Amino acid sequence: MTSDTTNTAAGIVQQDTGHQNAGSSFGEMGSIIDLGMPAPGGAFDEHHPPDAALIGDCVHCGFCLPTCPTYVLWGEEMDSPRGRIYLMKEGLEGEPMSNSMVSHWDACLGCMACVTACPSGVQYDTLIEQTRAQVERHHDRSAKDKALRGLIFALFPHPRRLRLLKGPLRALQRTGLDRRLRQTGLLERLSPQLAAMESLAPRLEKSRPLPERSPAVGRRRAVIGLLTGCVQGAFFPGVNAATARVLQAEGCDVIVPRAQGCCGALSAHNGREEEAQSYARNLIDTFEASGVDWVVVNAAGCGSTMKDYARILSDDPKYAERARSFVERVRDIAEILDQLGPVATRHSLEMSIAYHDACHLGHAQGVRLQPRRLLQGIPGLELREIAEAELCCGSAGIYNILNPEPARELGDRKASNIVATAAEVLVTANPGCLMQVATAIERSGHPMGMAHTVEVLDASIRGLSPATLTASARAHTSPEN
Ligand code: SF4
Ligand code: SF4
């Protein structure tokens, strides 16, 4: 990533962005609070521009810099949270939206490590989503970029289309053609982005859809609606099956409404505001009609977006209040299990695991203790922590497809930290992380097992052997039966 920015010893930006305001310093950041609407001719229109007051919360202390993966990779101020916020301020003050500005915002993984690190409580998550919606409205992307994004959004938020893709993908994997195609390097030369997409696909197995209602084992403690998710449902059906079994074992009726679709996470994270709102409305309708106590999610990226529905639908008079009450009922699977407390017997699993905090679970939802408590409740299981835990693995929704090079660097860095734990299994709670880390672990030449938190709990409750979880990363398939 290139940038025309240098840091002074004081950590204050002296920059040449090619913009009129080049040379302004963060010392002027406070003035933005006084701005009402974006200045005419600037980067943003009046529909939810990046919030001036939130920008003004940044005191440019730089505590966020060491946790920002792009700053760690490139050391460029404009590829740090502080730099990106500065560019938002410039845009509000009248600077037109330039290719350079957009490249720095596009390079952000949306991992929210900066939100965790920031002592001033800067809501960078809201700021970047507001900015991305403006970029989608005002920035003219290249034809290649548009085509790639078009393909991604015609595919990923559509569970049925993803399921249709599984047949040909499975055939490629069974015949070994996928490996041979990768070895030729043809796809890589044609499009590194398509090559990245192909290389991420996990080992696919046939699966059965979950029943619409699965009864609690023993006394019923709650009625849970399960979001099956697009990528989770198509590529990791075993994780959904394990989630349902664990919830049943813990005394929950599990409802899987057939009408559910995408939660809108990918759309929201990529500035496709209306699309995200439409997915959010559909999901609210579906789960309201199902009469459940809680809506449970096992994919961190989906959960963090569903908890943000109140903001996403705040302008919609018909849905704003419903969105607020929906959000109160959304729980990550680790949260609800921790909240309910265990009733099912845990059998021993003599093995070591390394737990990776998915950014959208740890940073975006603040769910860190609950999965660790659940895992530590399994007799015989040893939990190991990973160095540089706050750094993103490079998955970040579709970031690893759109930006394969930095994603690969981050993936390799994460894999090397994971391998250093010498654990037998890597455990995490997001399908994107599972695919990204599995691919990086395979590249590292140190095969290990991969599992979702709930698959480990499921194996323990069912008394399965550790071998069901320690199969190598690329061979990752959930113990479904
Ligand atoms: S830590 Fe927060 S206040 Fe400090 S520079 Fe980063 S975003 Fe701004
Ligand atoms: S969301 Fe992640 S990549 Fe983006 S600025 Fe914050 S720490 Fe950096």
Could you tell me the residue ranges of all domains in the chain? 5-138, 345-475
Pocket test for ligand 1, best of 7, 33, 58 (most atoms within 8 A of CB): 58
pTM of the predicted structure, to 2 decimals:
0.87
CATH number for region 345-475 = 3.40.50
Pocket test for ligand 1, best of 13, 33, 59 (most atoms within 8 A of CB): 59
Query: Which protein residue's CA is at the shortest distance from atom 2 of ligand 1?
Result: 118
pLDDT of residue 34: 53
pLDDT of residue 475: 44
Query: Which protein residue's CA is at the shortest distance from atom 3 of ligand 1?
Result: 58
The ligand whose atoms approach the alpha carbon of 122 most closely is: 1
Ligand 2 centroid–CA 354 distance in Å is 24
Ligand 1 centroid–CA 105 distance in Å is 16
* Architecture, CATH, for domain 5-138: Orthogonal Bundle (1.10)
pLDDT of residue 36: 59
120 lines ligand 1 (CB under 6 A): yes
Rounded mean pLDDT for each run of 10 residues along the chain, 481 residues in total: 35 34 41 64 94 96 97 97 98 96 97 97 97 96 92 87 79 75 72 72 77 97 96 89 98 96 94 97 97 97 97 97 98 98 98 97 97 98 97 91 93 97 96 92 92 97 94 47 34
Q: Measure the CA–CA gap between 371 and 367, rounded to whole angstroms.
A: 8
Q: Which of 333, 393, 401 is nearest to 363 (CA)?
A: 393
The ligand whose atoms approach the alpha carbon of 84 most closely is: 2
